């Protein structure tokens, strides 16, 4: 079967992109990264792909007169590289509903909070400021709202009394790096069934040729 081709959108550090690359090279994720697009020419994420033979493109918003033109370029790049699934991995721009509706059920995001709590920016700080005792991360499909699409996987971490934004973010990030590749792999195995807001995880199919009772 043809491998699912991933298109990853990044803006900065790229540690989640790294987690996807690592999962693919460790055979924990049966997919191929067809393209990485950064809207930031200085993103550290771009350095992470060097040496992996992964096509990268920098598409800067300021080079386009409108958001629509910018997004047209993104869509054209994804089409050119035959991308099946778009991953937002620290991409710091909000995509228009026009763009999102072109890829229904084909865009995923990771958010550093247990949605629907603390959507938007600085989710870890929001959790600390609120006094939450549990934080975590969420992988979800992207819909037209802000971090509001159907939830695929979530995992919790404790908030400790002496946590700072940095220590809490670090604890969450560690779990993000496990959860995102796992969610993408479920998609690649066609094991995600979206029913309204709920995403059911289907059982693993026996491998072709494997003995069944
Ligand atoms: C992560 O915390 C992710 O949850 C959020 O943005 C951050 C990106 O980090 N959406 P990185 O660029 O993947 O290191």
Percentage with pLDDT > 70 across the chain: 97
Nearest CA residue ID for atom 9, ligand 1: 90
pLDDT computed for residue 210 by the predictor: 63
Per-residue pLDDT at 1 = 79
Looking at residue 175, what is its pLDDT? 98
In this prediction, residue 144 has a pLDDT band, given cuts at 50, 70 and 90, of very high
Q: Which residue has the tokens 């995403």?
A: 199
pTM: 0.95
Average pLDDT over residues 112-139: 98
Whole-number pLDDT of residue 205: 81
- Pick the catalytic residue from 44, 81, 111, 177: 111
Q: Which atom of ligand 1 sits closest to the CA of residue 10? A: 12
Told to judge if 111 belongs to the known catalytic residues of this protein, a careful annotator would answer yes
Residue 67 contacts by C-beta under 8 Å, 6 or more apart in sequence? 61, 96
| CA 208 to ligand 1 centroid distance, Å | 37
Residue position matching structure tokens 């796992």: 182
Tell whether the model's pLDDT for residue 164 goes beyond 90: yes
Mean pLDDT computed over every residue of the chain:
96
Q: Is the CB of 12 under 6 A from ligand 1?
A: yes
Q: Is 70 exposed, middle or buried (0-12, 13-18, 19+ CB in 10 A)?
A: buried
- State which ligand 1 atom lies nearest to the alpha carbon of 89: 13
Residue 209 pLDDT level (bands cut at 50, 70, 90):
low
The residue-averaged pLDDT of 109-137 equals: 98
Residue 201's beta-bridge partner residues? 192
Domains of the chain: 4-196 (3.40.50.170)
Expressed in angstroms and rounded, the spacing between residue 62 Cα and the centre of ligand 1 is 22
Looking at residue 206, what is its pLDDT? 78
């Amino acid at each position: 079967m043809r491998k699912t081709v991933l298109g990853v959108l990044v803006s900065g550090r790229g540690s989640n992109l790294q987690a996807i690359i690592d999962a693919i090279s460790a055979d924990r994720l049966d997919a191929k990264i067809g393209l990485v697009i950064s809207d930031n020419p200085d993103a550290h994420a771009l350095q992470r792909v060097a040496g992996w033979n992964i096509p990268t493109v920098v598409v800067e918003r300021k080079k386009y007169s409108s958001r629509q033109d910018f997004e047209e370029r993104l869509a054209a790049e994804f089409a050119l590289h035959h991308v099946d699934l778009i991953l937002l991995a620290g991409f710091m721009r909000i995509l228009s509903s026009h763009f999102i509706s072109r890829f229904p059920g084909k865009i995923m995001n990771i958010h550093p909070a247990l949605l629907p709590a603390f959507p938007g920016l600085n989710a870890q700080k929001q959790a600390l400021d609120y006094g939450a005792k549990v934080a975590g991360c969420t992988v979800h499909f992207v819909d037209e709202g802000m971090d509001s699409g159907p939830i695929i996987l979530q995992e919790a971490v404790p908030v400790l009394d002496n946590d700072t934004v940095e220590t809490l973010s670090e604890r969450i990030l560690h779990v993000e790096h496990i959860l995102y590749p796992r969610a993408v792999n479920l998609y690649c195995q066609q094991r995600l069934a979206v029913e309204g807001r709920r995403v059911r995880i289907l059982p693993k199919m026996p491998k072709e040729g494997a003995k069944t009772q």
